[in-house]
Amino acid sequence: MSESNTSAWLLLHGVPLTPAVWAPLVQLLPAATAADAVMPTLTATESSPDVQAELAGDLIARHCQDARRLHVVGHSFGGQVALEFALQAPASVASLTLLCTRDTPFPAFAQLAETVRNSPIDPSQSIQRWFSAAEIDANGPAVRYARTTLERADRTQWATALAAISRFDCSDRTGRITAPTTVIAADRDPVSSVAAMGEMADRIDGARMTVLADAGHMSPFSDPERLADLLIASARRA
């Protein structure tokens, strides 16, 4: 049976990003699996008390109905959905890559959620948190994409996702993950910090961790070639 029939990529974006964030990366993944890459839109709904778990359950219902196994990759909010996916459907996960995310609450985002919901958005503040100064000066495709996406963001959905991140906590279950797991942290990410991600990695048996130097929350997308290499290495552990 060919690789394309047995595995595919499931790429889960952060907020307020869109699946388009993965577009430059998909072209660099092995053709057999990239052709079947699944890049769903993650929409946070205010009616759900467990947003990430509900989104994971929906993805499982839609994408785990055959024998194909998935290389699950999640960034930020998408990483938390990826954690829930791996916990709810372990048999469907060939490998798990957690990119700039955390399995514990970040309470400060509750206030940020209210700010996003009720105040005008200043993209420059997020851009400064997400990228290094050199990346911002270079104004490459990832920075331009992020700026445009921020300008067009649905504030209600963004705020709902931020509130969900503020309270998300699966740390008491993270140790149940059985998939080969790679954790990728950025050393200048104050939310998905190296410390928080290191503790998460320690809870997962056999997890491997990589720390990107002089990198912010979205810096990995500024170098899609390097990120693709990291994801391919993670998938090979399956």
What DSSP designation does 29 have? S
3-state secondary structure of 23: helix
Nearest Cα neighbor of 95 from 237, 215, 195, 205 is 237
Is residue 48 scored above 90 in pLDDT?
no
pTM of the model: 0.96
pLDDT digits 0-9 by tens, 84-129? 999 999 999 999 999 999 999 999 999 999 999 999 888 999 999 9
3-state secondary structure of 107: coil
pLDDT tier, 35 (very low <50, low <70, confident <90, very high otherwise): confident
What are the extents of the domains in the chain? 3-103+170-235
Under 8 Å between Cβ of 83 and 166: no
How many residues are there in the chain? Answer: 238
pLDDT score at 237:
86
Reduced 3-state DSSP string for 198-214 = HHHHHHCCCCEEEEECC
pLDDT score at 5:
53
Identify the bridge partners of residue 184 per DSSP, sorted by sequence position. Answer: 99, 210
Q: Across the beta sheet with 7-12, what order do the strands follow?
A: 7-12, 69-75, 93-99, 181-186, 208-212
Query: What CA dihedral angle connects 155, 161, 162 and 166, to 10 degrees?
Result: 160
Q: Residues near 118 by Cβ (< 8 Å), separated by ≥ 6? A: none
pLDDT digits 0-9 by tens, 54-83? 999 999 999 987 778 999 999 999 999 999
For 3-103+170-235, CATH gives 3.40.50.1820
